[in-house]
Each structure stands twice: as C-alpha cells, then as structure tokens.
Amino acid sequence: MAAGILIASTFYYSQGFINEDISVGVEKYIFNLGGQIFKNLLMLVVVPLVFFSLVSGISSLSNMVKLGSIATKTIGLYLFTTAIAVSLALFFGWAFNLSGFEGTVDSYVPPSGDSSLYGTVLRIFPNNIFGAFIENNMLGIVFISILFGLALNLTDDLTNGLSKTFERFNIVFLKIVLLIMTFAPIGVFCLMGSYVMAKGLNIFGDLAQYVLILIFVLAFHLIFTYSLILKSFANLSPLIFYRKMKNVALFAFSTSSSAATIPVTLKTVTDDLGVKKDVSSFVVPVGATINMDGTAIMQGLATMFIASTVG
C-alpha cells in the first residue's frame, strides 16, 4: 500500500518532467487496470460465497430452535453495536467540534435508489430470485439464502443429502477467494496508486481533521465497546481475542472488503477461537453483510462534517 502511494505520488508530482504519454500509460495500464481486475475478481465470488456459506450453515443445523436463538442474538448484538457506533460518532464529532471542508462544492448528486427505511426493508424481500443476485442485492441474497437453507434443512431426507452438495460448493468458493487473495498485495498496490494518480495527496490534507477523528472513534469503539462485550457476554480476554484476530483485521484493512475477508474470518473463529461451525457459518456471513460499525461511524461523522460544510 505504501509503495503504491509512493510510486504514484512520484508520477503525479513529476508530470511536468516526465513524458505525458508515459504518465498516462502508467496510470491507465498499471494502476487502473490492475486495481480494477483485483476488484472484479473479488466481486466475482462475493455473491456465491455468501449464498453457499449461509445455505450450508443453516442446512447443517440439527435444531431449528437453535437457529432462531442464534439469529435473534446475532441480529440483536449487531443492532446494539451499530447503535453504539453511531452514538460515539455523533458524540465525538460534537466534542471535537468537527468542522467542514474549506473548499467549494460544485454540485451534489443524490444517491440512486431508495435509501429510506421503507426501501431498505423492501430490498430484504425481493420479488425475483435471479434479480437479487444480478443486482448484488445483499440483503435480498441473505434472505433467500436463509429461506433456502431452512427449506433444505427440513427436506434433507427427501433430497438425498443435497445439503452436502452445498457444503462442497462452499468449500470450493472459499478456496477460490483464498487463491484470489494471494494477489492482494499487488491489488492494493494498484488501487492506492490509481487513487493517488487521480487525486494526488492534497485531499488527505484537506480532510485531515475528519480522518484523525474517524480513526480515533474507530479505535475507541474497538478497544472499549468490543472489549466490554467480550468480557461481559463471552467471558473472553480481549487481549487473547485481538491477538488471534489480528490477521483478520490486517486482511480486512488491505482489501477494504468484509465479504472478501469471510474465508479468513471463518477459519480463525472456528480453528483459533473454538466457535462451532453451525454458529460461525451463519453469524460471519450475516455480520459481513449487515454489521457495519465502521461504516456507521464514518457516516455519522460524515453527516456532521457535511452539515458544517454547507452551513
């Protein structure tokens, strides 16, 4: 990552001395192309990975009451931590008097689609199975996967052990992701280089206050909120947990993809933390899809940042 920033910065700030064709070629055919290929490969396996992981996990449960208990506790915990994350973002944004960007905003383009609560809930229940997969509607895909896994669990004796087939597909896609992630250093190098070639490093200076506060709140949430939950509900030492999960954190940081980190997370929580497979196979994919505490913190601070910018 640092190498990508350094090399791209050299080309960006030497444009007056380096042949323009060379600079454009490096940006287009090395950084842009390499980064886009890496992103495309990750997105290629996200949907099938989530689908097969959830279906295989739910279909392997021997007790449907257990599934209800797991789902209730999981979703409840995710909503709880997300609410805390947003609250921390708003509190520290106010406490540190987060100010807006001093430049000018030329125009604002609202996001496409219905981002309201109504639209979000509606996306959970798609009216077309294939449409949800084609549109990468993760909420809909999770719902379809849960529904399919439940049906498969209840009819496994009538389908000649079809659930085993889904488990095998899950293993295959986990391996595909791990193969793709062997190229993560090159992919991250290209992605960071592409950004710096296009924007330079000025944006980091302009947003320095926002970035520093964001990092502080993320660290606070990690160290205090998660540590308290681990000790109170799991009676697990936070130091042991963080030490065993450090590779997952590094992997997620380098890829910026929760979905791409699913294989590493599953392996770590089952092999190193001793979580049962029927629990981890449900909790991890759902968490990678809906439990976005970091995003909640970012958006909470961004709300105050933008509000200060536009007055």
pLDDT, tens only, 268-289: 888 888 888 778 877 887 888 7
Residue 311 has pLDDT above 70, yes or no: no
Separation of alpha carbons 193 and 2, rounded Å: 9
Residue 258 DSSP one-character state: T
- The pLDDT tens digits of the residues spanning 166-199 come to 888 988 988 888 888 788 778 877 777 776 766 6
Work out the average pLDDT over 12-36: 66
Asked whether the beta carbons of 246 and 176 are under 8 A apart, the reply is: no
Domain of 44, CATH number, reads 1.10.3860.10
Q: Is 123 exposed, middle or buried (0-12, 13-18, 19+ CB in 10 A)?
A: middle
Q: Quick one: average pLDDT of 18-34?
A: 70
Higher pLDDT, 20 or 300: 300
Domains held by the chain: number: 1
Q: Pick from 142, 102, 82: which is nearest to 300 by CA?
A: 82
More confident position, 25 or 236 = 236
Tokens of 139: 């909420």
| Nearest partner of 297 among 205, 219, 232, 191, judged by Cα | 219
- Give yes or no for residue 75 having a pLDDT over 80: yes
Q: What whole-number distance in Å separates Cα of residue 197 and Cα of residue 183?
A: 21
Residue 115, pLDDT above cutoff 70: no
Which one-letter DSSP state was computed for residue 168? H
Q: Show the domain range for 189.
A: 2-310
Mean pLDDT (the chain) is 79
Looking at per-residue pLDDT, the higher value among 22 and 128 belongs to 128
Q: Is the pLDDT of residue 67 over 80?
A: no
- Residue 83 to residue 90: CA distance in whole angstroms: 11
What pLDDT, on a 0 to 100 scale, did the predictor assign at position 11? Answer: 47
Alpha helices in the chain (DSSP H): 2-12, 20-26, 33-59, 64-95, 117-124, 129-134, 138-154, 162-181, 184-199, 202-206, 208-220, 227-233, 238-244, 246-255, 262-267, 277-290, 293-310
